[in-house]
A = this chain, B = another copy of it.
């Protein structure tokens, strides 16, 4: 490969405008300390030449890299992609994150890292050394991983923790899983349900616990008992099946179930069928994730809609704009989830 050089550099622009490199640089960056006429002359040269700064060179001279690194869990992400089950978490992150980045001349780079890995720090350090990103976005289950956050703090790279409630380094952004869970539970209670089962997700994810908490809290508020109504899965279909079977096999079985994600909700549908229970007539179901496929199940599922795009967009905004300032909120930034009511929820049979 031939040594590829920049087609048009700051030097060309400077020559064309008849100014020093420095003046061009000033115009590129923010134009402070530049007379309007100079600014205009330089800008004209930039436009005429179609000049665009090389981010490599900008980065080299100690400036920004205009790169934001978004970290996701490797195994889970690849499994989702392979399974082709319509999990659009990554797409929503891109929608919110990439577009917001583009608005500011930044680029979002996706990176997959292993959670269960003792050299996770090495992995991250390598990505940071190679890319020198101006900011990092952490997603569950990395968001509160102390190995990761410590490294980021040490590297002095601003970062956002999506799906985190804890204050501390970086900024936390949450869709308020507990509140969302309460929302789902409340919806069922309003329909008349008292025995509402809950299928929790993987303990690797803190949000799994918050969702359980929300359900518990709302049940308590309604004076409903939760004994024997909690089952734990790991977000997989298989685990959802086992959990659903456990819940439905009981003599006093729940009249409604909240599943912590779409795969486990699918498993509940299958389990209900096996147990001869019609949804929603004999069993209501709420899915904790409004993924594409929940509109195509029979029946279409009432679901919690997670504002992934919006939250990622906010994270990027913070990293680009606010990272320098010190007026950072020490409380998590909340972008609340909403409930999309479809046909999988109805009053319980007894109350109908």
Chain A residues in contact with chain B, CB under 8 A? 1-8, 50-57, 59-60, 62, 64-66, 78, 80-82, 84-86, 88, 90-92, 94-95, 98-99, 102, 107-112, 122, 125-126, 129-132, 134, 155-157, 290-293, 296-298, 309, 323-324
Contact = CB atoms under 8 A, between A and B. Distances in A.
Contact of A62 (B5, B129, B156): B5
Contacts of A62: 3-5
A54 B129 contact: yes
A12 to B, nearest CB: 12
How many monomers of this protein are in the complex? 2
A52 B98 contact: no
Contacts of A56: 55-57, 59-60, 65, 132
29 contacts: A3-B62, A4-B156, A4-B157, A50-B126, A53-B130, A54-B59, A54-B129, A56-B57, A56-B59, A56-B65, A78-B95, A78-B99, A80-B91, A81-B91, A81-B94, A81-B309, A84-B292, A86-B86, A86-B292, A90-B90, A90-B94, A91-B91, A98-B110, A102-B112, A107-B131, A108-B110, A292-B293, A293-B293, A296-B296
A90 to B, nearest CB: 6
Contact of A57 (B60, B134, B297, B309): B60
Given A94-B81, A98-B110, A130 B64 contact: no
Interface centre among A4, A98, A102 (most CB of B within 10 A): A4
A78 B97 CA distance: 12
A122 to B, nearest CB: 6
Nearest to A158: B1
B52 A126 contact: yes
A325 B150 CA distance: 44
A5 B122 CA distance: 18
Contacts of A111: 107
**From A102, A122, A129, A131, residue with most partner B Cβ within 10 Å:** A129
A237 B53 CA distance: 42
A82 B8 CA distance: 37
A3 B64 CA distance: 9
Nearest to A98: B110
Closest 9 CB pairs of A and B: A86-B292, A296-B296, A52-B129, A86-B86, A56-B59, A81-B95, A3-B62, A56-B56, A52-B126
Contact of A156 (B2, B125, B296): B2
A227 to B, nearest CB: 35
Contact of A1 (B2, B6, B64, B112): B64
A55 B2 contact: no
A50 B92 contact: no
